[in-house]
């Protein structure tokens, strides 16, 4: 009983932190929406239709009330056909978009083009946060393996736990035995490192090699302007000179 007490306390503590973060996020959302509504009211619209359109536009991330108004006024100046195409495209993407059942990448079909391609090395899987990372790596034309899109990173501060991501599906794939190497390509942040470590621990006992993408000095950067962490990692993760010639 005494041994279970610290575990129980830790569990209660974690649940408490999780609930507090959820509550803070909810409160912040309510405040943001209230702030936007109050600000929109202060704008004195001559049309209720315009006010509604501006309000909906201002719900998008990074769009404030003035930008929303500018965008809506811009759309009003466009031919009707232009705005119809935009609304149809948004409506269709929302209704018809799918997520690949294998890698969770955004796709038009059940199995995405990358997973369906016979040219891809199925023993190599690159773990990324979202579709933007897949696009960035694909643009390099240097990678011929598959991907696994997590849909985010573990972040207790934002209330995102392992079960909010596609980690269970990744471990399920690993159990099937086809994967030989897993490449962690998450951003070099505390959340990224936590997620990498969590997955690494889950793979304990599997015959899978794990690696991370190299972190270091960017091409074209002056050494003296690099921060200590980046420079330190570059020295620790140095590669043979012949290897550096391959990427050129």
Q: Find the shortest distance in angstroms from Cβ 103 to Zn ion.
A: 3
Q: Find the shortest distance in angstroms from Cβ 165 to Zn ion.
A: 16
Q: Find the shortest distance in angstroms from Cβ 133 to Zn ion.
A: 14
Binding-site member from 69, 100, 124, 186 for Zn ion (CB under 5 A)? 100
| Residue 103 in the binding site for Zn ion (CB under 5 A) | yes
d(CA 12, CA 14): 6
| Residue 166 in the binding site for Zn ion (CB under 5 A) | no
Element (H, E) at 183: strand 181-184
Q: Find the shortest distance in angstroms from Cβ 105 to Zn ion.
A: 5
Binding-site member from 53, 54, 72, 112 for Zn ion (CB under 5 A)? 112
Instruction: With contacts defined by CB under 5 A, name the span among 63-71, 73-81, 106-114, 119-127 that binds Zn ion.
Output: 106-114
Query: Which lies closer to Zn ion via its Cβ, residue 147 or residue 184?
Result: 147
Task: Catalog residues that contact Zn ion under the rule CB under 5 A.
Answer: 100, 102-103, 105, 112, 115
């Amino acid at each position: 009983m005494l041994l279970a007490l610290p575990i129980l306390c830790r569990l209660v503590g974690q649940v408490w932190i999780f609930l507090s973060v959820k509550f803070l996020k909810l409160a912040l959302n309510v405040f943001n929406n209230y702030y936007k509504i109050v600000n929109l009211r202060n704008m004195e619209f001559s049309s209720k239709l315009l006010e509604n359109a501006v309000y909906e536009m201002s719900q998008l991330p990074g769009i404030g009330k003035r930008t929303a108004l500018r965008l809506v006024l811009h759309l009003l100046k466009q031919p009707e056909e232009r705005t119809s195409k935009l609304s149809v495209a948004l409506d269709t993407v929302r209704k018809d978009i799918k997520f690949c059942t294998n890698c969770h990448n955004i796709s038009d079909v059940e199995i995405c083009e990358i997973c369906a391609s016979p040219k891809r090395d199925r023993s190599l899987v690159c773990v990324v946060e979202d579709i933007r990372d897949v696009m960035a790596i694909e643009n390099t034309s240097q990678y011929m393996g598959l991907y696994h899109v997590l849909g985010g990173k573990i972040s207790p501060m934002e209330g995102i736990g392992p079960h909010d991501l596609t980690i269970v599906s990744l471990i399920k794939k690993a159990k099937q035995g086809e994967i030989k190497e897993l490449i962690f390509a998450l951003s070099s942040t505390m959340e990224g490192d936590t997620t990498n470590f969590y997955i690494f621990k889950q793979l304990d006992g599997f015959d899978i090699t794990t690696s991370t993408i190299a972190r270091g000095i960017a091409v074209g950067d002056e050494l003296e302007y690099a921060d200590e962490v980046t420079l330190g990692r570059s020295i620790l993760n140095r590669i043979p000179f012949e290897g550096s010639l391959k990427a050129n």
